[in-house]
Amino acid sequence: MSRYILKRLISAIPVLLLVSITAFIIMQLVPGDAAAIIAGQDATLDEIEFIRSQLGLDQPWPARLWDWISGLAHGDLGYSFILNRPVSDAIIERLPVTLSLAGLSIAFATVMGVSLGILAAVFHRSWIDATAMTVALCGVSVPNFWFGLVGILIFSVGLGWFPPGGFVSPAESLSGWFLSMVLPALTLGTATMGQISRFTRSVMLEQLGQDYVRTAQAKGLAGRQVIGKHALKNAMIPIITVIGITFSLTMAGAIVVESVFSLNGLGRLMLHGIMRRDYPVLQGGLVVIAFSFVFINLLVDILYSWLDPRVRYD
């Protein structure tokens, strides 16, 4: 088991390297003189030159790439001249907001999505199936930022149940944190919920047709055990993979949803980075999100081997 994890960890290294290089390449696409853009219109030539040398832009690209990669290896994501602080500091400060948002939204999407999918599969071709799949289809089709605005209009302005935006730290008030997160998490989670329920339905339908389900029925087990224990345990293996993949959807969606609900998370940091042409922040944010995606998928793989005894010692 631990050898398997070690093997997977090692195999992630080239992917991380490629991801870092991709982020680097994207940033090389900035047209014109990045140093001059960062320094702003009022900057003197000396200031521009200073920023240029600080960013290493006066060096050839292989040297810059090497600096970037070796910096990353030490946890150095570069320096923001606009925020006047290391990029990693700015990101770490914002991370709790984004992690709260992403975590809650994935939790919601998983619970709702898997339940709807199971219901749809168990009551195949009934009105329950049709209803669940309509909800799922609407979930994947609704633009989340608009859905969030509608949510604010109804539940914050209309009913006054939740605050219309802003982040409350869980250290400050746990209930306040939860209330502040309900609407954003639902908004961010709808699309993922739709994907997970559509996928769960098709996997469950497949599993319910398997021989072992008939065996479980022949044993006289109750329907709840046949579905919840026997079929779901098999279905969860591919479902976990899809949940891992939707994590990337969630992280990207967070940028938009944080903007709707005025949450100062990683997404809004990057958005401000874009507006102010703070390229180091953008590059750093990109790499953090991509790394977390690789990490989540690693976790999924390990979970996979734990759920599926057949791959455990391969």
**Considering only residues 74-133, where is the footprint of other proteins by CB under 8 A?**
125
Closest CB to other proteins among 169 and 262? 262
Closest CB to other proteins among 177 and 245? 245
**Contact region for other proteins (CB under 8 A) — 18-26, 55-63, 87-95, 169-177?**
18-26
User: Which of 1, 18, 63, 107 touches other proteins (CB under 8 A)?
Assistant: 18
C-alpha 279, offset from chain centre: 21
Site for other proteins (CB under 8 A): how many residues? 73
- Restricting to residues 41-70, which ones interact with other proteins according to CB under 8 A? none
User: Which of 75, 159, 275, 314 touches other proteins (CB under 8 A)?
Assistant: 275
User: Which of 282, 284, 301, 305 touches other proteins (CB under 8 A)?
Assistant: 282
CA distance 63 to 69: 10
- Restricting to residues 214-273, which ones interact with other proteins according to CB under 8 A? 214-222, 225, 229-230, 233-234, 237, 248-249, 251-253, 255-256, 259, 270-271
**Contact region for other proteins (CB under 8 A) — 2-10, 110-118, 181-189, 210-218?**
210-218
With residue 167 as reference, give the H or E element that holds it: none
Q: How far is the CB of 149 from other proteins (least distance, A)?
A: 6
Closest CB to other proteins among 16 and 177? 16
Q: How far is the CB of 109 from other proteins (least distance, A)?
A: 15
Residue 10 in the binding site for other proteins (CB under 8 A): no
Question: How does DSSP assign the chain, residue by residue?
Answer: -HHHHHHHHHHHHHHHHHHHHHHHHHHHT--S-HHHHHH-TT--HHHHHHHHHHTTTTS-HHHHHHHHHHHHHTT---EETTTTEEHHHHHHHHHHHHHHHHHHHHHHHHHHHHHHHHHHHHTTTSHHHHHHHHHHHHHHHS-HHHHHHHHIIIIIIIS--S-SS----TTT-HHHHHHHHHHHHHHHHHHHHHHHHHHHHHHHHHHHTSHHHHHHHHTT--HHHIIIIIIHHHHHHHHHHHHHHHHHHHHHHHHHHHHHTT--SHHHHHHHHHHTT-HHHHHHHHHHHHHHHHHHHHHHHHHHHHH-GGGTT-
**Contact region for other proteins (CB under 8 A) — 10-18, 68-76, 82-90, 171-179?**
10-18
Give the burial class of 125: count Cβ atoms within 10 A of its Cβ; 0-12 exposed, 13-18 middle, 19 or more buried: exposed
Q: How far is the CB of 163 from other proteins (least distance, A)?
A: 14
Q: How far is the CB of 81 from other proteins (least distance, A)?
A: 17
Closest CB to other proteins among 173 and 215? 215
CA distance 290 to 277: 20
Q: If we measure between CA atoms, which residue out of 112, 297, 115 comes closest to residue 204?
A: 115
User: Which of 81, 261, 293, 304 touches other proteins (CB under 8 A)?
Assistant: 293
137 to 156: interface string for other proteins, x by CB under 8 A = xx-xxxxxxxx-xx-xx---
Closest CB to other proteins among 18 and 111? 18
- Restricting to residues 21-40, which ones interact with other proteins according to CB under 8 A? 21-23, 26-27, 29-31
